[in-house]
Chain A
Amino acid sequence: MTALLEVDGLRVAVNGGAVVLDDLSFSVARGETLAIVGESGCGKSVTSLAIMRLLPPALRLTGGAIRFDGADLATVSPTRMRDLRGRRIGMIFQEPMTSLNPGLRVGEQIAEVLRIHEGLSRAAAWRRAVELLDHVRIPDPARRAMEYPHRLSGGQRQRVVIAAAIACRPDLIIADEPTTALDVTVQAQVLELLKSLQREIGSAVILITHNLGVVAQTADRVMVMYAGRKVEEGAVAAIFDDPRHPYTSGLLRATPDPTRPRPARGVLHEIPGMVPRLGARASGCAFRPRCARAVPRCAEGVPPLLATNSGLAACLFAQEGAAA
């Protein structure tokens, strides 16, 4: 499979200050689902916003390339980028409650994408919007399209957001914590919807989440991030079976997993300490202060990504068998 998206050495920094993303590289193949996981503050959302070129004003892309189907998103013109957004790359945000404009009918907010990118007439775009609402399984779509977001539940709103994101059948869908703000029962439905739409359209998906259960259900590959860097990457099953970075194994042990009883005596562990604040990251391996295996050598430079049985891991002990 050819890579659809290839991120190479991406760097993002606070204007003239702390580094947020440091030398981040990964790729996504057509049709595949890559999950990006990590605690909040690890740089997952910044990664997605950088790909979309929607970084908040305080952040700046300072290096690297984002190759998407031949073009480098880091350098394309704003006009070109705008044309790609919504048409070839769709994005779904975490907060369905605030992602929709409270002053516009939901139908219009979907139709907008079609009018911009496919040049549909007002009426045609509206018809397509209603079809899309039906497609994301919203009952009585013709009537719902007329409603303002306030009248819809959280799950329904997220379906509207998804409908807008897939309206132009994009090659890539970036979903930033798409189910986190939803009720548990709704989460599964929305995730299922996303999966079936992906199969149908054949899009690649970047799924950003901190929920490893979601990763196990949906993703092909997983990339673990810590403090703005990739610390481990590989096929989901392999990584879950044999994590080589202590952070990954910490995350796994902190996750209850009904489908796969772990041998850890059924006890949930939490990782001691917290994600370091920006600018307060430790030298060498950033995870060092929270790591049980840390040795003085860990402070000497950032550990390189080493090839393991399950993929890549940025730990000095990655090739020495399962992380503790």
Chain B
Amino acid sequence: MTPRARRIARFLARRLAQGVALLLCIAVLDFALLHAVPGDAADAIAGEAGTADPGYVATLRHQLGLDQPLPVQLGLYLGRLAQGNFGYSFRYGQSVASLILERLPATLLLMAASIGFAVAASLVLGTLSARFANRWPDRLITLVTLFFYATPLFWFGLMAIVLFGVHLGWLPTGGMYDVARPRTGLAFALDVARHLVLPAFTQACFFLAIYTRLVRTSMLQAYGSDYVRFARAKGVGELRIALRHVLRNALTPLVTMVGLNLGTLLGGAVLTETVFSWPGIGRLMYDAVFQRDVNLLLSILVLGSVIVIVANLLVDMLYAALTPAVELR
């Protein structure tokens, strides 16, 4: 292993350990919240199953280990979580884990599309903004990002539905695909893509605003830097300077910021998926709110955290690839 590879490996291992520790804390927090609910899981399950027979409840309580002391219960709870056992949802007639996993791809698709769009658009807008710093294109972009930053995302989604769905009729306004069409092949992919446009754009707006400002600042810094001047003095062309010298150094803060925003992004998915009836875990959470299904809510929260932590590890790897190893901490 080269020293750089070793350093990167050490960095990623440390991040992985931190992730696991975080997850443990979140699980404990969940356990505490679960116990804050009046009544316990046995009452809840009995209630959902439509029975209040004290004998049944007592048996359930014993089965679930709810008659054990709290630390033992915590251990049991963590053990169950580690096995991916989040309990059973009577309302949906399936295990919570499979319920969530079923919805997960839709949410991941939405997240990936909105991050991808926000990053790509912010690179273009931020570069333009920096290129024309303090002239009208820059001012216009700044104004637009200011609006995007201040717009409530669920409202933006609703207005997009009114404009593009109802009045112009360009795009579908809800769901992930047309139920009347066959769900195979390219046609299906295109159908999903059409359904994805409005939710992904809605979800991306806020982040687009933040990222554009970030890219503008780092582009300005990079273009004013001594190393770009030196590259020019070496006879390096503008395109190569932009791609090799500037973009690379401007990307690092962007990658860091994307990592920091993942939790916010996933939280926003609850709103976006609710507005656009997108069949992901955000929409599932909204339904669980209505049904006051605390166990399902907490499970989504845990899994949401797992997504954020795993996605952050991916971001860390990207970061490690972009940054000289010396700077990895």
State yes or no: do A and B touch (Cβ within 8 Å): yes
- Nearest-neighbour CB distance to chain B for A203, whole angstroms, equals 15
Q: Which of B203-218 contact A (CB under 8 A)?
A: none
**A-side contacts of B323, CB under 8 Å:** 103
B53 within 8 A of A: no
In the complex, the answer to whether A116 meets B322 with C-beta atoms within 8 Å is no
Q: Which of A32-67 contact B (CB under 8 A)?
A: 52, 54
Contact A86 B227, CB 8 Å, known A102-B249, A150-B324: no
- Nearest-neighbour CB distance to chain B for A122, whole angstroms, equals 13
Greatest chain B CB density within 10 A among A99, A149, A165 is at A99
Give which listed residue, B229, B237, B249, contacts A54 with CB less than 8 A: B229
B225 within 8 A of A: yes
In the complex, the answer to whether A101 meets B249 with C-beta atoms within 8 Å is yes
How long is the Cα–Cα vector from A99 to B227 in the complex, in angstroms? Answer: 4
B186 within 8 A of A: no
In the complex, the answer to whether B237 meets A98 with C-beta atoms within 8 Å is no
Contact A102 B324, CB 8 Å, known A54-B229, A95-B226: yes
What is the 8 Å Cβ interface bit string for chain A, positions 126-163, against chain B (1 contact, 0 not)? Answer: 00000000000000000000001111000000000100
Give which listed residue, A86, A103, A150, contacts B234 with CB less than 8 A: A86
**A-side contacts of B235, CB under 8 Å:** 82-87, 113, 116-117
Give which listed residue, A83, A103, A165, contacts B322 with CB less than 8 A: A103
A-B CB contacts (within 8 Å), total count: 77
What is the 8 Å Cβ interface bit string for chain A, positions 87-121, against chain B (1 contact, 0 not)? Answer: 10011010100111111100000001100110000
Interface residues on chain B, size class: 20 to 34
- Nearest-neighbour CB distance to chain A for B15, whole angstroms, equals 20
What is the 8 Å Cβ interface bit string for chain B, positions 223-235, against chain A (1 contact, 0 not)? Answer: 0011101111111
How long is the Cα–Cα vector from A89 to B41 in the complex, in angstroms? Answer: 78
A172 within 8 A of B: no
In the complex, the answer to whether A113 meets B227 with C-beta atoms within 8 Å is no
How long is the Cα–Cα vector from A100 to B225 in the complex, in angstroms? Answer: 10
Q: Closest chain B residue to A52 by CB distance?
A: B233
**B-side contacts of A165, CB under 8 Å:** 233-234
In the complex, the answer to whether A150 meets B225 with C-beta atoms within 8 Å is no
In the complex, the answer to whether B237 meets A103 with C-beta atoms within 8 Å is no
**A-side contacts of B80, CB under 8 Å:** none
Give which listed residue, A52, A87, A104, contacts B244 with CB less than 8 A: A104
In the complex, the answer to whether B325 meets A101 with C-beta atoms within 8 Å is no
In the complex, the answer to whether B227 meets A101 with C-beta atoms within 8 Å is yes
In the complex, the answer to whether A85 meets B233 with C-beta atoms within 8 Å is yes
**A-side contacts of B326, CB under 8 Å:** 148, 150-151
Q: Closest chain B residue to A168 by CB distance?
A: B235
What is the 8 Å Cβ interface bit string for chain A, positions 228-258, against chain B (1 contact, 0 not)? Answer: 0000000000000000000000000000000
Q: Which of B237-254 contact A (CB under 8 A)?
A: 237, 240, 244-245, 248-249, 252
In the complex, the answer to whether A103 meets B324 with C-beta atoms within 8 Å is yes
A164 within 8 A of B: yes
What is the 8 Å Cβ interface bit string for chain B, positions 11-50, against chain A (1 contact, 0 not)? Answer: 0000000000000000000000000000000000000000
B70 within 8 A of A: no
- Nearest-neighbour CB distance to chain B for A104, whole angstroms, equals 7
- Nearest-neighbour CB distance to chain B for A161, whole angstroms, equals 7
In the complex, the answer to whether A54 meets B322 with C-beta atoms within 8 Å is no
**A-side contacts of B249, CB under 8 Å:** 101-103
- Nearest-neighbour CB distance to chain A for B175, whole angstroms, equals 44
Chain A to chain B contacts (Cβ below 8 Å), 11 pairs: A54-B233, A82-B237, A86-B235, A90-B233, A101-B249, A103-B322, A112-B234, A117-B235, A148-B324, A148-B325, A150-B326
Q: Closest chain A residue to B322 by CB distance?
A: A103
How long is the Cα–Cα vector from A83 to B232 in the complex, in angstroms? Answer: 11
In the complex, the answer to whether B226 meets A98 with C-beta atoms within 8 Å is yes
How long is the Cα–Cα vector from A164 to B235 in the complex, in angstroms? Answer: 11
**B-side contacts of A148, CB under 8 Å:** 324-326
Give which listed residue, A90, A93, A113, A117, contacts B229 with CB less than 8 A: A93
Q: Closest chain B residue to A148 by CB distance?
A: B324
Contact A85 B232, CB 8 Å, known A101-B227, A101-B249: yes
How long is the Cα–Cα vector from A117 to B234 in the complex, in angstroms? Answer: 9
